Amino acid sequence: MPKLNLHFQRFEFKYYLPKSKADKLIPALLSHMEWDPYIKDSGNNFYKVNSLYFDNDSFGCFWDKESGIADRKKLRFRFYGGTLLPTSPVFLEIKRKKDALIIKDRIKLEASDCCNKNLDIKLNQLFKNNEDNQFLNELIWFKKRNLMKPKLYISYDRSALVSKVDKKFRITFDYNIKTRLSKDFNYNFNYLKDVYPDCVVLELKYNNILPLWFHAIIQKYQLQRFAFSKYCNSLRMVMLQLDDNNYSIK
């Protein structure tokens, strides 16, 4: 039987910068990196990432981040591309953050499994056939114990680069971040709200140590790490009582 859940573990750092700086940075990175295979296959210089985040009615995940809790986790759906059919693959994943370490576990579903009525049925079926799967047990418990429901949809265009030497060293640029409150993936792009449209979120992902050449890039382009949360900052944009205007580029 194939493995039910997929596991990822790596360090991640984020940098928040204007689009103009990102446009200058990519050519410099291409001296040491190349486009991710997904970019090559897409025929564009990006692929679309779509996430539907769960939270409870008190937005506990939001407040965990705002309170600075070091060990925290989020539950979300994620699919890639601009079209979602009933048979399209959708990942249900828990993303854990322990300081700079990111740990992700996910299971692969079909879009038709992900509507509210079908999801619990599907998860219970999977658990019945995989009672020893610790992640599946954790996922069901986390969702049920915290009364988690889909709350916020986020989409963005991702340009991704991988090192020519170490394929686990990745840099992604997330553009055109858009959001809206949502209980499902039945979105309409006309009703999505821009999240800081003049800026880009750069994410650095690696397993071991940073190469020396990247330290030189950081210094040359004066990159400053920023604890940017797409979920929290998108939620601020649609729930104005939470917006503290904390990410204005000056």
Residue ranges and CATH numbers for the domains of the chain are 5-242 (3.20.100.30)
For residue 152, pLDDT over 80 is answered with yes
At 238 the pLDDT is 93
Query: What would you report as the CA-atom Rg of the chain, rounded to the nearest whole angstrom?
Result: 18
Across the chain, mean pLDDT equals 89
- Residue 139 near residue 94, CB atoms below 8 Å: yes
At 1 the pLDDT is 36
Residue recorded with tokens 């219970």: 124
At 240 the pLDDT is 78
Q: What is the average per-residue pLDDT within 106-131? A: 91
Structure tokens at 64: 């965990």
Backbone torsions φ then ψ of 140, nearest 5 degrees: -65, -40
Q: What is the average per-residue pLDDT within 101-118? A: 91
At 202 the pLDDT is 95
Torsional class of 196: left (φ above 0), alpha (ψ -120 to 50), beta (otherwise): left
Structure tokens at 128: 């019945």
pLDDT in tens, 155-202: 999 999 999 999 899 999 999 999 999 998 775 666 899 998 999 999
- For residue 34, give the 3-state DSSP assignment: strand
- Residue 71 near residue 98, CB atoms below 8 Å: yes
Structure tokens at 249: 């580029």
Categorize the per-residue pLDDT at 54 as very low, low, confident or very high, splitting at 50, 70 and 90. Answer: very high
% pLDDT > 70, the chain: 93
At 3 the pLDDT is 59
Q: What is the average per-residue pLDDT within 212-226? A: 91
At 225 the pLDDT is 86
At 104 the pLDDT is 94
Spell out the long-range contacts of 233-236 with Cβ–Cβ below 8 A and sequence spacing 24 or more: 233/195, 233/196, 234/152, 234/154, 234/177, 234/179, 234/195, 235/59, 235/62, 235/151, 235/152, 235/179
For residue 154, pLDDT over 50 is answered with yes
Structure tokens at 205: 């992902």
